[in-house]
Amino acid sequence: MNFIIIGCGRLGAELAYRLYTQGNQVAIIDHNPLAFNNLDPAFSGRTIEGEALNKDILLRAGVEHADGLAAVTNSDLLNAVIAHAVRMEFRVSQVYVRNYDPYWRPLHEAFGLHMVSSSSWGAQRIEELLYHAEVRTVFSAGNGEVEIYEFTIPAAWVGHALDELISGISCVPVALTRAGRSSLTSPEIILQQDDILSVSATLEGIQSLRQRLMSLKEA
Q: Is residue 73 part of a domain?
A: yes
Query: CA angle, 6 as apex, 52 and 106 as ends, to 5°?
Result: 95
pLDDT value for 133: 54
pLDDT value for 164: 92
CATH code of the domain covering residue 193? 3.30.70.1450
Interatomic CA distance for residues 85 and 82, integer angstroms: 5
Question: Which stretches of the chain drop beneath a pLDDT of 50?
Answer: none
pLDDT value for 49: 97
Q: Is residue 124 part of a domain?
A: no
In this structure, the answer to whether residues 136 and 57 fall within a common structural domain is no
CB 120 within 8 A of CB 94: no
Contacts of 181 by beta carbon, 8 Å cutoff, 6+ apart: none
In this structure, the answer to whether residues 111 and 145 fall within a common structural domain is no
Q: Is residue 122 part of a domain?
A: no
Show which of 59, 93, 117 is a domain's final residue.
117
Interatomic CA distance for residues 186 and 204, integer angstroms: 23
pLDDT value for 40: 96
Mean pLDDT of the chain: 88
pLDDT value for 9: 94
The whole model's pTM is what?
Answer: 0.64
Domain limits for position 186: 132-218
Looking at residue 101, the DSSP 8-state letter turns out to be S
CATH code of the domain covering residue 100? 3.40.50.720
In this structure, the answer to whether residues 41 and 97 fall within a common structural domain is yes
pLDDT value for 132: 56
